[in-house]
Amino acid sequence: MGLFLMCFLASTIIPFPSEATILFFLNSGNYSPLSILLVASLGNCLGGSTNYILGYYGRKILSKKQLLRSESLVKRYGFWTALISWVPIIGDPLLILLGIYRTPFGLTMGLMCLGKIARYLILFWTYFTLT
């Protein structure tokens, strides 16, 4: 439950390093790496979808000026922007923007999860390569 919650919070607008939590669980030796990957990915993807939903239902989060500035980004790249939602600092606001501009939910979530899971797979690969 702690791993899920930490990874969920890390993918919302609350800054928290989910990688440190994953490494803690991997180093504990009490859990299988596959279960850690699945729980962390589920928490992180659900947290990211929360950002999208915040934007979808909270269009008034941004001022008119901010909306105009961000509109070109979303119009240019659309739901493909979700692939980089794992990037710290910019990823969470990107998902809120995608929600505000109502990009297709399924495609946006699929690409978001793909990016977030790929980041965790790289973390796992690095961890097991170095240990």
Q: State pLDDT tens for residues 95-116.
A: 999 999 999 999 999 999 999 9
> What does the pLDDT read at residue 15?
74
Number of helices (H), then strands (E), belonging to the chain: the values are 6, 0
- pTM for this prediction: 0.88
Query: Who's near 14: CB < 8 A, 6+ residues apart?
Result: none
φ/ψ of 9, rounded to 5, equals -65, -35
Radius of gyration of the chain (CA): 15
Q: How far, in Å, CA of 69 to CA of 24, rounded? A: 40
> What does the pLDDT read at residue 44?
95
Q: State pLDDT tens for residues 7-49.
A: 999 988 777 889 999 999 999 999 999 999 999 999 999 999 9
Q: Which domain holds residue 118?
A: 2-130
DSSP-derived secondary structure for 25-62: HHHH-SS-HHHHHHHHHHHHHHHHHHHHHHHHH-GGGS
When divided into structural domains, the chain yields a total of 1
The share of the chain scoring above pLDDT 70, in percent, equals 100
> What does the pLDDT read at residue 71?
83
CB 47, CB 4: distance < 8 Å: no
